[in-house]
Amino acid sequence: MVELKSVSVVYGEQHALRRVNLSVEKGEFVFLVGATGAGKSTLFKLLYGELRPSEGEVWVLGQPVHRLKPRELPYLRRRMGIVPQDYPLLPRKTVWENIAYGLRAIGYGESAVRQRVAQVLALVGLNEQARQMPNQLSGGEAQRAAIARAIANNPPLLIADEPTANLDPDTSWEIIELLMRINLRGATVIVSTHNRMIVDRACQRVVALDRGQVVSDVPRGGYPYELDRLYASVML
């Protein structure tokens, strides 16, 4: 599903990622953890082709992202749900329009849009907020709306960059529960975070990044002491 082979990203003389190897199988739920600046967002950008590796190979859904041409990227991205850390929602559009916008942009017809938006709104529990503007939503609701837009196309892979940032613990957990529900429906999910509470509670695979390198990869249901060591090293 996702494979990084000895990937490095260099900005000037600074290594954002250094010889990273990572493999994520179909149906997995993976937390990508690490302090700010560890390289989580850089790694995500590599997955959807917004950034090219300085060296190494990036394979996503069977596609060599590292050598895809710009005109080929959109067709890969249609098979991925991306919840970006920045600009999650369009401020001048309602929740309903935000979700519909993504579908229209890739050529969905009017009736298909109506059907899909209704389905994902029900899935993320935002039926009542459909006509609200983003500034009328709570942080958790806005994040759920962004997730709804990302999964509206029913993608086999979902990537969420810090979806629990600035959310209180209960709301953060609601978001993670939602992502795990989407995972149970068959999608592979990769989530970046530095929220220790949710990583502990979710008991999923945890890959830790520190200064651009993978320093630990704890499998699903891994031993608590491994996680402790992980937190001691990377989660400040």
Alpha-carbon span 88 to 129, nearest angstrom: 16
Residue 110, C-beta contacts closer than 8 angstroms, at least 6 positions apart: none
Closer residue to another protein, CB minimum distance, 58 or 230 = 58
Strand 157-161: give its sheet, edge to edge.
80-83, 157-161, 188-193, 29-33, 205-210, 213-218
133 lies in the binding site for another protein (CB under 8 A): no
Q: Are 39 and 209 in contact (CB under 8 A)?
A: yes
- Which of 37, 64, 74, 224 binds another protein (CB under 8 A)? It is 74
Q: Are 145 and 89 in contact (CB under 8 A)?
A: yes
| Total binding residues toward another protein, as defined by CB under 8 A | 31
Q: Please report how close the Cβ of residue 17 comes to another protein at its closest, in angstroms.
A: 21
Closer residue to another protein, CB minimum distance, 149 or 194 = 149
Widest CA span in the chain = 52
Q: Please report how close the Cβ of residue 46 comes to another protein at its closest, in angstroms.
A: 14
106 lies in the binding site for another protein (CB under 8 A): yes
Return the residues of window 14-73 that contact another protein according to CB under 8 A: 48-50, 70-71, 73
Q: Using CB under 8 A as the criterion, which residues of the chain lie in contact with another protein when the complex forms? A: 48-50, 70-71, 73-80, 82, 84, 86-87, 90-91, 101-110, 149, 153
